[in-house]
Chain A
Amino acid sequence: GNSVTQMEGPVTLSEEAFLTINCTYTATGYPSLFWYVQYPGEGLQLLLKATKADDKGSNKGFEATYRKETTSFHLEKGSVQVSDSAVYFCALKLNEKLTFGTGTRLTIIP
């Protein structure tokens, strides 16, 4: 079956630090890949996506590259802000269904 494995949290960083949240997947086919963000008490918002190998998704300073050879879609940001504190979910989409990782809680300290 399909599955997504992402970095265990929680992750705590100082403001302006570099962020990486690892995500790897297994899939029976060629999925689209997504990062969603969830702020406290809210639903999920799409952060970025990539639909084929070597595509780079980017938004709000976050980036992730679809690496087929390593089945990975790691999330990066060069300089995090306090407002980036949230839970981040990696997901794959295949046959109209999303499969999510367990989420990584990120806390940024001023």
Chain B
Amino acid sequence: DGGITQSPKYLFRKEGQNVTLSCEQNLNHDAMYWYRQDPGQGLRLIYYSQIVNDFQKGDIAEGYSVSREKKESFPLTVTSAQKNPTAFYLCASSILGASTDTQYFGPGTRLTVL
């Protein structure tokens, strides 16, 4: 089945630790995205990538880092510099170059900082 997988579903981290969230897609999409969801605030874009080995900051990139070494994979690292990392993180992908095209979302990872 084609789709986007995120792991783990739930993640707990101690304050001061870095943690990496996984996102993999087998849809052959060029573009991939990371969003953060907080209650009552909708989704906010953290980083996005339109091609391997290239990525751009979104609206709330501070305290996060990404890599795009393979087309299928776009891991997100939440660093200790992120002041309020507890949130629901969603990864998405889409075909590049078609503004009408849909972004497809993974099931999400809920990160809790203890």
Contact = CB atoms under 8 A, between A and B. Distances in A.
Say if A and B assemble together.
Answer: yes
A43 B40 contact: no
B99 A89 contact: no
Interface centre among A42, A43, A97, A100 (most CB of B within 10 A): A43
B35 to A, nearest CB: 8
Contacts, number: 56
A15 to B, nearest CB: 26
Contact of B50 (A32, A94, A96): A96
Given A43-B106, A96-B31, A96-B50, A101 B100 contact: no
Interface residues of B, number: 26
Nearest to B50: A96
**Chain A's interface: helix, strand, loop or mixed, by majority?**
strand
Nearest to A52: B100
Interface stretch (B14-22, B41-49, B60-68, B79-87): B41-49
Interface string B76-108: 000000000000001010101001101111111
Contact of A46 (B40, B50, B96, B102): B102
Interface of A: 31-32, 34, 36, 41-46, 49, 51, 89, 93-98, 100-103
Q: Considering the complex of A and B, which 8 residue pairs feature the smallest CB-CB distances, nearest first?
A: A43-B105, A51-B100, A100-B42, A102-B42, A44-B105, A100-B43, A43-B107, A32-B100
